[in-house]
Chains A and B, each alone.
Chain A
């Protein structure tokens, strides 16, 4: 900075003038992290809703009667494995091994798809049994919270598919690596939120 101030000529186009401010090197990752933190607030308010309304079953089925814990265990395992396999994909990315990375990404995507499929199946069974979101305040808050999480995972899968096409076509470019790092954060973040869901909504829910 100081050395450039001794630019004497002034006739030559000054090299130190920044015509275009380059974005901060990790600006995208930090911005995406802040988005995730704001997403935390969405989930926090939905968790607060469930905490307040979770026992208001209006004479309908209670959490202990309707929630399926063995199914939940399978779902939790699927999402955790999906998170770890996505981590393996990131390791392969760091080693510039595109095929192995795409394979791990595919595994992570399929595990997450299994998660969404099981969740939709559970929702379907609950609605069939007359425990839809319109039944009681407990079920409204349950479907809103778990459904919002499921929607996030579904959008994550869509993002993953689009990104895999891009990675296959253009390879590990700088932009693609940045996108993959963002998706990786998103993916792990959703697993983190799920820890709250299965502990607070399901396990603590059936005991209240």
Chain B
């Protein structure tokens, strides 16, 4: 370091951890399991109900995203004095709003629109 360590950042170095072999392997095994299950659900046609399968696939994806964040990105409440976590929570809130609201609004728009005749729809994309 070229400058003397300033007091405010003295303990930051302790929290720059690269993870451990154990951590990466745990993350890998969990991620692999959480990947294989949804592929099996979809490709093996396990459930008749499509919406049940879709819900399970998306739930497993959310779990796996958190596995990646904890074991690969090493996000915890201490890294960068907690600002990483704050930025992350802020992002989650906005992403949920963007995704949820877009789907909600567009679904209602679609459902409340006048039905389009098939002929008209076809002439549009020819």
Closest to B98 in A: A44
Which A34-67 residues sit within 8 Å CB-CB of chain B?
Answer: 34, 37, 40-41, 44-45, 47-49, 51-52, 58-59
Q: In the complex, what residues of B have CB within 8 A of residue A30's CB?
A: 80, 83-84
By the criterion of a CB under 8 Å from any partner CB, how many residues of chain B are at the interface? 57
- B117, CB-defined interface residue at 8 Å: no
**Contact of A191 with B68 in the complex, beta carbons under 8 Å:** yes
- A143, CB-defined interface residue at 8 Å: no
Closest to B5 in A: A25
- A126, CB-defined interface residue at 8 Å: no
A189–B99 CA distance with the chains assembled, in angstroms: 19
B81–chain A nearest beta-carbon distance, Å: 8
Q: Given A37, A44, A91, A174, which contacts B19 in the complex, CB threshold below 8 Å?
A: A91
Q: A4-12, A154-162, A193-201: which lies at the B interface?
A: A193-201
Interface of chain A, main secondary structure: helix
A87–B90 CA distance with the chains assembled, in angstroms: 26
Closest to B80 in A: A30
**Contact of A203 with B39 in the complex, beta carbons under 8 Å:** yes
B33–chain A nearest beta-carbon distance, Å: 11
A76–B124 CA distance with the chains assembled, in angstroms: 37
- B102, CB-defined interface residue at 8 Å: yes
Q: In the complex, what residues of B have CB within 8 A of residue A88's CB?
A: 21, 24
A44-B98, A69-B43, A207-B50 given; A51·B103 CB < 8 A: yes
**Contact of A192 with B68 in the complex, beta carbons under 8 Å:** yes
A191-B72, A208-B50 given; A90·B84 CB < 8 A: no
A33–B5 CA distance with the chains assembled, in angstroms: 23
**Contact of B95 with A84 in the complex, beta carbons under 8 Å:** no
Q: Which 9 A-B pairs have the closest CB atoms?
A: A199-B61, A48-B102, A25-B9, A188-B72, A87-B24, A22-B3, A37-B91, A52-B106, A58-B125
Q: Which residues of A contact B (CB under 8 A)?
A: 22, 24-26, 29-30, 33-34, 37, 40-41, 44-45, 47-49, 51-52, 58-59, 69, 73, 76-77, 80, 83-84, 87-88, 90-91, 93-94, 136, 174, 181, 185, 188-189, 191-192, 195-196, 198-200, 203-204, 206-208
